[in-house]
């Protein structure tokens, strides 16, 4: 048996205002302070489309090689639910803004292109509050109601849960590069539903599908898909039939639970939204947007491997987020050493971010400061150990690399006399080890190096020490 | 008859409309009159005619992404039959799957 998976991803656009009115879109503000007659669905209020929403959609269209419709129209999707003020959602139906795109993902068997059927503009709903403050009732906050979303529908070309999470990660990386969505799964600015079915391997016919909702992390997406595939295979193997339904992923119980949908609820009776005019996009508009596109992750990664001679792995890590790649390149402008800079950024900088749970923009160690440290390292004014020491010092307390180096006396000694003294002293203090080394126990070199470094308080240059040490132990 | 009583009742349910048996008869007659007329229009050949999506001939009525003031919380809640702690209050919506 094999699985067939299609994903529907909603991304919340990071425009300042909502899709069809001028209310702000801030997350987590005091409830019901970001509403107006339009998003509250007051009779007679008329929606007006936010141009930025279209600009953002065109960006994603260009980045996914989608066909951008010269003319697209809005439709009403009719259903009653308390978080939807108007009794219908403004969406796009038969003429969406984008169609026929693709997204390349990395799998164990290399690159795989996943087709994107369509991407359309629609509006978000309000938020229900089910807390214990509401006894036999539900509270509603419409701050989010009317915020612009793009719904991205993939072709059923995803085969495994791993591919599904790779697709999601790639899409997240892309929308963050384009700066059209913050990609926050936990806060719901990116939401994913999966259509899952199974069939005999190689069969052309699709099985009956189940739609799974409510997976708010990569881990849950993988777990929910694996669970649902296993469940369907078991049903079929026991001679049963799959019933088409919508299910919710329950992360506590680790299982999908069928939604108690009322009959007819899927009958949305779409019709063209009479309050909005058609959206017309010409080549000029597309060209304007094309000029604003940043270098996309794939191109940037290729440039890093080709021009900077970084490994595939390093380039992948550094281009995982736009801010990180920018940080790396700003540091590189000063240090001029791609390999060394890549090591420090993917090692020390990422470690620091993880330990302090902070964002790159919050770091005291700016690209300029890191660049200076690396320059000191390259010109042998600092050794690696002390470079890391200064890195940590600045990360905690700020200040300038050269200043700390002088104040703490960390400047590397290239004075041969001083070096010879340290080496001689260490050899004199450890006569037995010296003898053992001379009789062939060469791994003791590390022991001596440690002792000499200690004596120099980290200032000795490792290469010079090695040279002098081996000379003396001949 | 293009539309049956069962279909009318289904649409009424979706639109959250209620009416008496007597009105159902009347509605059924009216709706079928309209739909019969539409059936008549269907006889016209529209093979090479583009669908009319909007009665407006213009396109692209757009606004800039600029924040304008919203309603105050008090004003936003004025017309709500019930409120609580700044929220609109409605009969319990079951949270599913939990």
Of A314, A360, A364, which is closest to residue A340 (Cα–Cα)? A314
- Residues A199, A90, single domain; the answer is yes
- State how far the Cα of A18 lies from the Cα of B50, in Å rounded to an integer: 32
Residue B24 has pLDDT above 80, yes or no: yes
State the pLDDT confidence band at A265, using cuts at 50, 70 and 90: low
Find tokens 């470690």 and name the residue: A351
The answer to whether A340 touches A380, Cβ cutoff 8 Å, is: no
Whether A343 has its CB under 8 Å from any CB of chain B: the answer is no
- Listed in order, strand segments (DSSP E) in A229-379 are 245-250, 255-258, 271-272, 279-280
What single string gives the DSSP state of each residue in A366-415?
-HHHHHHHHHHHHTTSS-HHHHHHHHHHHHHH---HHHHHHHTT-PPB--
The pLDDT tens digits for A273-311 are 999 999 999 999 999 999 999 999 999 999 999 999 999
- Residues A300, A266, single domain; the answer is no
The answer to whether A54 touches A98, Cβ cutoff 8 Å, is: no
- State how far the Cα of A362 lies from the Cα of A43, in Å rounded to an integer: 46
ipTM, two decimals: 0.89
| Distance (Å) from the alpha carbon of A347 to chain B's nearest alpha carbon | 40
The burial class, CB within 10 Å (0-12 / 13-18 / 19+), for A313 is exposed
- Number of domains making up chain A: 3
Q: From the list A34, A128, A278, which residue is nearest B93 (CB)?
A: A128
The pLDDT tens digits for A407-439 are 877 777 677 788 888 888 888 898 888 888 888
Q: From the list B54, B65, B94, which residue is nearest A73 (CB)?
A: B54
Phi-psi region of A35 (alpha: psi -120 to 50; beta: other; left: phi over 0): beta
Partners of residue A274 in chain B, C-beta under 8 Å: 54-55
The pLDDT tens digits for A75-130 are 999 988 899 999 999 999 999 999 999 999 988 888 999 999 999 999 999 999 98
Last residue of a domain, one of A357, A377, A407: A407
- Residues A76, A126, single domain; the answer is yes
Task: Write out the residue range of the structural domain in which residue A322 sits.
Answer: 295-407
Tell me, yes or no, whether A274 lies in a domain.
yes
Whether A276 has its CB under 8 Å from any CB of chain B: the answer is yes
Tell me, yes or no, whether A235 lies in a domain.
yes
Tell me, yes or no, whether A281 lies in a domain.
yes
A14, A15, A22, best to mutate vs chain B, most B CBs in 10 Å: A22
What single string gives the DSSP state of each residue in A270-298?
-EE-TTSPPEE--HHHHHHHHHHPPPPHH
Tell me, yes or no, whether A290 lies in a domain.
no
- State how far the Cα of A20 lies from the Cα of A147, in Å rounded to an integer: 8
SS3 A110: strand
Whether A43 has its CB under 8 Å from any CB of chain B: the answer is no
- State how far the Cα of A228 lies from the Cα of A234, in Å rounded to an integer: 10
Q: For residue A356, how far is the Cα from the chain centroid? A: 18
Last residue of a domain, one of A240, A266, A285: A285
Residue A368 has pLDDT above 90, yes or no: yes
Q: What's the first-to-final CA gap in chain A, in angstroms?
A: 69
A 122-141 residues with CB < 8 A to B: 128-130, 133-134, 136-141
| Distance (Å) from the alpha carbon of B33 to chain A's nearest alpha carbon | 21
Q: What's the first-to-final CA gap in chain B, in angstroms?
A: 45
């Amino acid at each position: 048996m094999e699985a067939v998976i299609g994903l529907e991803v909603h991304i919340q656009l990071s425009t300042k205002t909502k899709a069809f009115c001028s209310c702000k879109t801030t997350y987590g503000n005091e409830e019901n302070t970001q509403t107006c007659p339009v998003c509250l669905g007051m009779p007679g209020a008329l929606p007006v489309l936010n141009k930025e929403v279209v600009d953002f959609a065109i960006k994603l269209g260009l980045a996914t090689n989608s066909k951008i419709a010269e003319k697209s129209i809005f439709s009403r999707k009719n259903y009653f639910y308390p978080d939807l003020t108007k009794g219908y959602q403004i969406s796009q139906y038969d003429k969406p803004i984008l169609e026929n795109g693709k997204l390349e993902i990395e799998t164990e068997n290399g690159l795989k292109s996943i087709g994107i059927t369509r991407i359309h503009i629609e509006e978000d709903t309000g938020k229900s509050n089910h807390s214990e403050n509401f006894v036999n009732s539900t509270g509603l906050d419409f701050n989010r109601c009317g915020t612009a979303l793009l719904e991205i529908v993939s072709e059923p070309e995803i085969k495994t849960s791993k591919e599904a999470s790779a697709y999601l990660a790639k899409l997240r990386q892309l929308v963050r590069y384009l700066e059209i969505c913050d990609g926050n799964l936990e806060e719901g600015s990116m939401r994913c539903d999966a259509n899952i079915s199974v069939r005999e391997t190689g069969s052309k016919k699709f099985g009956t599908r189940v739609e799974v909702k409510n997976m708010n992390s990569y881990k849950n997406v993988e777990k929910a898909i694996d669970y649902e595939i296993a469940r369907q295979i078991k049903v079929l193997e026991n001679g049963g039939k799959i019933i088409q339904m919508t299910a919710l992923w329950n992360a506590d119980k680790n299982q999908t639970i069928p939604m108690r949908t009322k009959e007819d609820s899927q009958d949305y009776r779409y019709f063209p939204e009479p309050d909005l005019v058609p959206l017309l996009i010409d080549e000029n508009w597309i060209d304007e947007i094309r000029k604003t596109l940043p270098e996309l992750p794939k191109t940037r990664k290729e440039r890093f491997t080709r021009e900077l001679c970084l490994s595939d792995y390093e380039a992948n890590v550094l281009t995982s987020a736009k801010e990180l790649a920018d940080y790396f390149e700003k540091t590189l402008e000063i240090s001029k050493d791609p390999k060394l800079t890549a090591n420090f950024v993917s090692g020390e900088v990422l470690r620091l971010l993880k330990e302090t749970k902070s964002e790159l923009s919050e770091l005291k160690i700016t690209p300029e400061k890191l660049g200076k440290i690396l320059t000191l390292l390259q010109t042998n004014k600092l050794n690696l150990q002390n470079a890391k020491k200064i890195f940590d010092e600045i990360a905690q307390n700020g200040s300038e690399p050269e200043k700390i180096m002088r104040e703490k006396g960390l400047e590397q000694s290239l004075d041969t006399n001083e070096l010879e003294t340290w080496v001689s002293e260490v050899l004199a203090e450890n006569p037995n080890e010296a003898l053992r080394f001379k009789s062939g126990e060469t791994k003791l070199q590390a022991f001596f190096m440690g002792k000499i470094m200690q004596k120099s308080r980290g200032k000795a240059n490792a290469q010079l020490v090695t040279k002098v040490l081996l000379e003396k132990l001949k | 008859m293009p539309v049956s009583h069962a279909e009318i009742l289904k649409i009424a349910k979706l639109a959250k409309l209620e009416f008496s048996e007597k009105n159902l008869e009347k509605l059924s007659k009216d709706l079928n009159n309209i739909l019969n007329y539409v059936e008549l229009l269907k006889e016209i050949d529209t093979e090479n005619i583009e669908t009319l999506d909007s009665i407006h001939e213009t396109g692209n009525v757009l606004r800039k992404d600029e924040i304008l003031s919203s309603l105050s919380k008090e004003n936003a809640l004025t017309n709500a039959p019930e409120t609580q702690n700044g929220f609109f209050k409605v009969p319990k919506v079951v949270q599913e799957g939990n």
